[in-house]
Amino acid sequence: RKEVEQDPGPFNVPEGATVAFNCTYSNSASQSFFWYRQDCRKEPKLLMSVYSSGNEDGRFTAQLNRASQYISLLIRDSKLSDSATYLCVVSGAGSYQLTFGKGTKLSVIP
Amino acid sequence: GAVVSQHPSRVICKSGTSVKIECRSLDFQATTMFWYRQFPKQSLMLMATSNEGSKATYEQGVEKDKFLINHASLTLSTLTVTSAHPEDSSFYICSASSVRGANTEAFFGQGTRLTVV
């Protein structure tokens, strides 16, 4: 089983649609969870951290289910500018090292 | 937020030459930095962990004699691709992490696109 596994994508959705990405991780000791966004030929940038209670930032909602070792990202009212690759990222307790999923590519279509 | 600066952003070199890439943490000290490589349409793959004042830790399959890492200060790590070949052409990205309690956040450099001709 891969350490961090994501939906393969690509997701092609119309503007205004709601889209959800899923991610599972294999290390039950993992402590920190993130969604990063990577635009083509650019470095990844933090989109949001994921907390056990779930968290929301505008149109973006992240959820964590520790029992199932599952993380999700929901994007509402998709914009053209949301087109990017979304990376699920996991780290261990107090660990500097992050493990990345392969990413899910999203294309929002006019 | 924390900033990591990587230089150069793009480099083209001839086969057999060496290329040095710098990664600097601008407003925080980074005892540990990471070097990743990303081939087109592939995920970020960790190459090595750079430790200030000690030897780097390389991932399996990464040649330590080919990818030289130096982390001489708390704000600078360098990756030197020695005797570069066309198959080394890739996007190289460094990152430095800040640990606060049980939470870790990674800050990335802008990346270096290396083309070996």
Question: Which chain A residues are closer than 8 Å to B42 by Cβ?
Answer: 102
Q: Model confidence at A95, in pLDDT bands (50, 70, 90)?
A: low
Please report the pLDDT score of residue A40 as a whole number.
84
Residue pLDDT, tens place only, A18-27? 999 999 999 8
Q: Do B111 and A102 touch (CB under 8 A)?
A: no
CB nearest B102 (choices: A87, A94, A100): A94
Residue pLDDT, tens place only, B60-111? 999 999 999 999 888 999 999 999 999 999 999 999 877 666 666 778 899 9
Residue A2 in contact with partner chain B when CB distance is under 8 A: no
Please report the pLDDT score of residue B103 as a whole number.
64
DSSP assignment letter at A30? E
CB nearest B104 (choices: A45, A87, A95): A95
Residue A101 and residue A9: Cα distance in Å, rounded?
A: 12
Residue B86 and residue B117: Cα distance in Å, rounded?
A: 6
Question: Which chain B residues are closer than 8 Å to A46 by Cβ?
Answer: 105-106
